[in-house]
Amino acid sequence: MNILGSIRAVAGPSARSCSRRLCDPGPSRWTVPAALAGSSRAPFYASRSSLVSHRTFCSSTVTDYSPTAVARLPRWVNNAKPGSTPDQQSTDATQAKKDVRLDSAEDGQSPPPASAPPSTPPSSSSSSGDGSDNADPPPPPPPDNPPPPQTSISKQSVPEIYPQVLALPIARRPLFPGFYKAVVIRNPEVVAAIKEMMRRGQPYLGAFLLKDENVDSDIITDINSVHPVGVFAQITSVFTAASNKEDEKEEGLTAVLYPHRRIRITELVKGGQAAKVEAVESTPAESPVPESEGQLPTPPPEREGPPMTMQTSFLEKYAVSVVNVDNLATQPYNKDDQHIRAFMSEIVSVFKDIAQLNPLFRDQIANFSINQVASNVFDEPDKLADFAAAVSTGDPNELQDVLESLIVKDRLSKALLVLKKELINAQLQSKLARDVDSKIAKRQREYYLMEQLKNIKKELGMESDGKDKLIEKFKERAAALKMPEAVRKVFDEELNKLMHLEPAASEANVTRNYLEWLTQIPWGRHSPENYSISHAQKVLDEDHYGLKDVKDRILEFLAVGKLRGTVEGKIICLVGPPGVGKTSIGKSIARALNRQFFRFSVGGLTDVAEIKGHRRTYVGALPGKIIQALRRVGTENPLVLIDEVDKIGRGHNGDPASALLEMLDPEQNTAFLDHYMDVPVDLSRVLFVCTANMLDTIPAPLLDRMEVLEVSGYVSEEKAQIASKYLGPQAKEAAGLKEADVQLEPSAIDILIKYYCRESGVRNLKKHIDKIYRKAALKIVQDLGEEVFPEPAPAPAPEATAADTNKSEEETVKAASTVEKQDAPPDTPDAPETTTPHKSAEEKDDKERVVTTVERKPMKVPDTIHVRISPENLKDYVGPRVYHKDRLYVHPPPAGVSTGLGYLGNGSGAVMPIEALSMPGKGNLQLTGKLGEVIRESAQIALSWVKCHAYELGITKTPDEVFLTDRDIHVHMPEGSIGKEGPSAGTALLSAFVSLFTKTKISPDIAMTGEISLVGMVLPVGGLKEKILAAHRAGIKTIIAPADNRPDIEENVPESVKTGIRFVYVENVHEILHEVFRGEPVAERWKDTLPLEQS
């Protein structure tokens, strides 16, 4: 059972050895008992160098010579030694109580000299103690007469029965018999009592573990605050404890305790009160003054409760805790019991395992084993259990259970449990240390091997170092490019700089990145262009329907390029409402020209660096978008589409719109200078195509450099063709119905265009067609059910796949794997912090989700399924109509109502009625219907013209009659939620005012558009194609338009839209009024007052 026999030292039976081990926080100074004084002091100080580094210690074992029969008796019985004088007795006791103090260098205090007096004066103790009431302590020896040398040492024995002791509570971990423990005592009453006990030669107390780990007290006020089982301990040495606070007046004491046996509290005889600092000023806790010779001790005051014994009666005057105790003896056991031997073997085995993992633990075992000279602790089960608990750092309650166990088998079991936990902790620490060491060793090994591999390859000429390889790569790239002379010069300079820089330098990384960009710009590399007109016509017709003007302009552009051999200096800007295909036109142009395509959006862009790049001095600097585009496409003649150029922003980092000038100006972009590249880059071969929704927000200098192509909206016939040829097949395939017999009838498409999608573009139409085919797919699946469209079997787990099928390992890994489930939290009414969702057993077990990389195959719809979407069932797919009717007034409206044509913000036209009413008031004009500022001004102009010509219009009887001084006018344009803006409503507003004041109705089949001036001139407006399309849809028969818009209407509006509509072109308001009120009585008078010849 002796596992450390090789390191144990053999000592004589009369030798005394002391060993202290680092375990719990303890004092920085400690004392050597009197047994080590004298001849033992020199070797003790010789070993001070190895002990001074251990600031804390908790346990030790003392093995002394066998005491004499007299020394075995209690201290208060041994009154004198045979054959010695009282002076010799006093001298022996004084010599036995002397302490040698060692101060650690860490305390910041110099060690006291060897002759320094101990903490307790030698004259305050006596070998006779206080066994007799008449015995006075002997006087101290005179300083000039040193005591005679001793020939023998009287050894103090430990009393076997000590029924009443001072109770000292211990925090954090209990004490075990045979193991030293240093405790710090701060209570002045307890300090004074311990000094008095040392002076009287009764250095014994009871140490009990506090139940509350957070409480640290030196007295016991409640017997339930400590565990009942503790140890009977001897105070081997005391010394003053250093105070952490400079202003702390209380005197601390550090006492080294040596437990001898287990005891149990039977009764709390005296519960002390905690001393307070305030009480120290009036009655400081000092050591009691020794009684002078010839005087009896002062009797203690009367106290309620159990009486105190004679041995502890002197503690009556101290506010300390005194308890009655009983000794606890270990129950008899058979050392050869099979269970006990098994426990001992396992504990020894765990000791070996921990010792291999924890060097500090190994040193503790070795020191303890060396001190066991009289007996082998590994052969004594009870001591082995105590040793296992004393050296471990287990839970205080578990250690207390070991202390309270009197049955050896139970004690061994509990100690083994504590030791097993210590082993697990040591294994974890060892594993962490091994992991860290292995990582470091692996990296070092890899580094050494890589360096050796580099040197070997370099010696064999197989490979040069990384920098040489990098420089060679840059040289190869540059040789394949057609760099300009200025760029070549910069490249050589930067390459030369990189050759002389260390790879680890930060400048080397910056230079390397710059050379990467410089050699990846396609200097002189371009893609062969295709200027074939027939090829371009075919591509444009495949991608777009209609847009004749745009296609003709693109073909003209290609014809010029075919003759010149280049298309330099052309920047095209496509302007139109959303959804008309501006971006897709740019893609078609790139495909027709066989050019690389790159798109980036500048909508909301506020940083100039996105266009011009960052300077290389910044961390993470990058070139601008155009340089990134050249690197991405790999040619210097791509088609670059700049989207949303009308929505470019402006921030504190500059004006990106101004930065675009250099990039888009044909006179400047031949030498475009990027901040990062800092070399001129030729962008003249790049074909720029910009897109915008409106021209108003584009800066004038930027707009001046572009060639604007207006992409207006589609008419109903064009939308129908686009839906049947492009949008329908795409949506059908996207819904998984490519091979199914699902048809969207042309009549249903017409209803969809007329009552659901009136926008200029086809984006909204595409959304509705997608929705129709998705609904059709849902109905097919729901009607046929899971029998026709079953779910495929779930992918098997990787293990099952490998076992059930003969697939390769690569296919198995590809087939399926698992990941941790991440489901959405349950939507419960209670807060998720306060509720726990109920989970079934299957959900609790199924914590992983199977994932796979195998594509799911589409399912075929049976040929027997036929679906037709007609106008009758269209509502089931897209819901009710959005637009219910095209005209607000089908029958002739009352006087004061006219019909105008407007252009909405979504790019579509609309028929907008204008209503005017008069009422008593003060001549104010009120406008409603979410009208813009321009429309409000048009209404003011129209009203002013009517007031000015009231007599000619027949509203007043004389030219001087005051008009509208007592009447208010209210003008409203229905659909108030839709914003309206623009000058197009001027003619309609004037007609409404004349109708109101002359009380003449206007035909609802007449619509008009045009801006008026203050003198009655009719000015041209825009958006006529969309307005005429809206009038055609509403069934308008007559449209009054400005004469200046006649070429635009005849050229750009399709004949199919103009069919059935009579166009009247006017130049002034006289012509408008004669046309609108044709056949009315008031118009007959206007032939004289407002003749057409005046126009």
Residue 760 bears catalytic tag: no
Which residues make Cβ contacts (< 8 Å) with residue 769, sequence separation at least 6? 723, 727, 728, 731, 744, 752
Cβ-contact 270, 320 below 8 angstroms: yes
What's at 379, amino acid-wise? D
What is the bridge-based pairing of β-strands 967-972 and 909-920? Answer: antiparallel
Cβ-contact 903, 984 below 8 angstroms: yes
What is the bridge-based pairing of β-strands 967-972 and 925-928? Answer: parallel
Q: How far apart are CA 629 and CA 122, in angstroms?
A: 96
Residue with tokens 């209407």, as numbered in its chain: 1049
What is the bridge-based pairing of β-strands 680-681 and 672-673? Answer: antiparallel
737 pairs with which residues across the strands?
none
Axis-axis angle for helices 466-479, 485-499 (nearest 10): 170
Residue with tokens 């409480």, as numbered in its chain: 215
Cβ-contact 939, 991 below 8 angstroms: no
Neighbours of 483 (CB within 10 A): 18
Q: How far apart are CA 186 and CA 314, in angstroms?
A: 20
Q: How far apart are CA 995 and CA 893, in angstroms?
A: 11
What's at 22, amino acid-wise? L
29 pairs with which residues across the strands?
103
DSSP string, 242-307: PPSSTT--SPEEEEEEEEEEEEEEEEEEE-PPPP-HHHHHHS---PPPPPPTT-PPPPPPP-SSSP
- Rounding to the nearest 10 degrees, give the CA dihedral for residues 346, 352, 358, 363: 120
Nearest-CA neighbor of 98 among 34, 32, 16, 194? Answer: 34
| Beta strand extents in 105-193 (DSSP E only) | 164-170, 181-185
What is the bridge-based pairing of β-strands 741-744 and 866-869? Answer: parallel
Phi, psi (rounded to 5 degrees) for 1014: -70, -25
Cβ-contact 698, 705 below 8 angstroms: no
Nearest-CA neighbor of 88 among 157, 156, 148, 136? Answer: 148
- Show the tokens assigned to 971: 């003008």
Q: How far apart are CA 947 and CA 942, in angstroms?
A: 9
What is the bridge-based pairing of β-strands 1011-1012 and 571-575? Answer: unpaired
Q: How far apart are CA 386 and CA 383, in angstroms?
A: 5
931 pairs with which residues across the strands?
980
Is the Cα dihedral 1012, 956, 925, 1074 positive or negative?
negative
Q: How far apart are CA 667 and CA 193, in angstroms?
A: 104
SS (H, E, C) 655-700: CHHHHHHHHHCCCCHHHEECCCCCCEECCCCCEEEEEECCCCCCCH
The C-alpha angle with vertex 963 and arms to 959 and 966, in degrees rounded to 5, equals 155
Which residues make Cβ contacts (< 8 Å) with residue 39, sequence separation at least 6? none
The residue from 195, 625, 980, 1027 that is catalytic is 1027
The C-alpha angle with vertex 280 and arms to 276 and 282, in degrees rounded to 5, equals 125
The residue from 984, 991, 995, 1025 that is catalytic is 984
Length of the chain: 1095
Helix (H, G, I), strand (E, B) or coil at 848: strand
- Show the tokens assigned to 540: 């444009």
Residue 1001 bears catalytic tag: no
Catalytic residues, by residue number, are: 984, 1027
